[in-house]
């Protein structure tokens, strides 16, 4: 009889130790949330570097989604165009909070490679180190210099962001604009992406 006692005690201990783990529940995943322009860039950059070690950003563009909604300088999706001089190729990477129309996939997604023979228009590639000012700060400065427009437009269109480097300014500049596209924007403000200075509209 006594020989069974240690075995019974061991089984009881094992049963008690399993009870807490069986009752624990996995924490629910956080809801999709928008990111700032610099945050989205940092999400895509490692994959772009794996594609081409000399890659440089050519443009960063916000994409507004119905949900999660954009606000405070953040958007539900972003598109970053990278170029590689050594490969003579360009490639678009996107970050999206959710699966959405327009070939947007949750997380980072790499588009197809295309040929690139160097800048053909005003836009040119720029150094990663030049992106010091993020979109929330750029929006804050843009709003401060848009009082007249906002006063005349009680319900302005959704804000969008575009980062490019052109001959117009010495540093890459955030274009903060109210409208779906640059060409259809009702108002635009340029903010230096390296210093945060207001550059004009």
| Residue-averaged pLDDT of the chain | 90
Which string of DSSP letters, residue by residue, matches 123-182? -B---GGG--S-HHHHHHHHHHT-HHHHHH-SSPPPEEEEEEB-TTSSS-EEEEEESSSS
Q: How far is CA 162 from CA 65, 73, 118, in A?
A: 16, 12, 20
How far apart are alpha carbons 118 and 134 in whole angstroms? 27
- What tens digit of pLDDT does each residue of 73-102 get? 999 999 999 999 999 999 999 999 999 998
Residue 17: pLDDT over 60: no
Residue with tokens 């809801």: 31
pLDDT of residue 19: 46
Q: 113 - beta bridge partners?
A: 91
How far apart are alpha carbons 38 and 130 in whole angstroms? 11
Domains of the chain, residue spans: 35-200
């Amino acid at each position: 009889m006594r020989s069974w006692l240690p075995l019974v005690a061991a089984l009881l201990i094992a049963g008690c130790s399993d009870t807490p783990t069986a009752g624990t529940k996995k924490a629910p995943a956080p809801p999709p949330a928008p990111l700032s322009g610099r945050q989205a860039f940092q999400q895509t950059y490692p994959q772009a570097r794996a594609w081409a070690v000399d890659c440089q950003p050519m443009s960063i563009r916000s994409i507004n989604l119905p949900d999660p909604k954009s606000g405070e300088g953040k958007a539900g999706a972003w598109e970053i165009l990278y170029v590689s001089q050594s490969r003579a190729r360009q490639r678009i990477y996107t970050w999206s909070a959710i699966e959405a129309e327009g070939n947007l996939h949750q997380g980072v997604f790499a588009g197809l490679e295309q040929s690139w023979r160097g800048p053909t228009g005003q836009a040119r590639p720029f150094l990663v180190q030049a992106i010091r000012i993020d979109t929330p700060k750029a929006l804050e400065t843009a709003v401060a210099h848009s009082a007249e427009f906002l006063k005349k437009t009680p319900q302005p269109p959704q804000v969008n962001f575009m980062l490019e480097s052109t001959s117009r300014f010495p540093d890459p500049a955030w274009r903060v604009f109210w409208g779906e596209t640059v060409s259809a924007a009702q108002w635009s403000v340029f903010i230096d992406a390296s210093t945060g200075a207001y550059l004009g509209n």
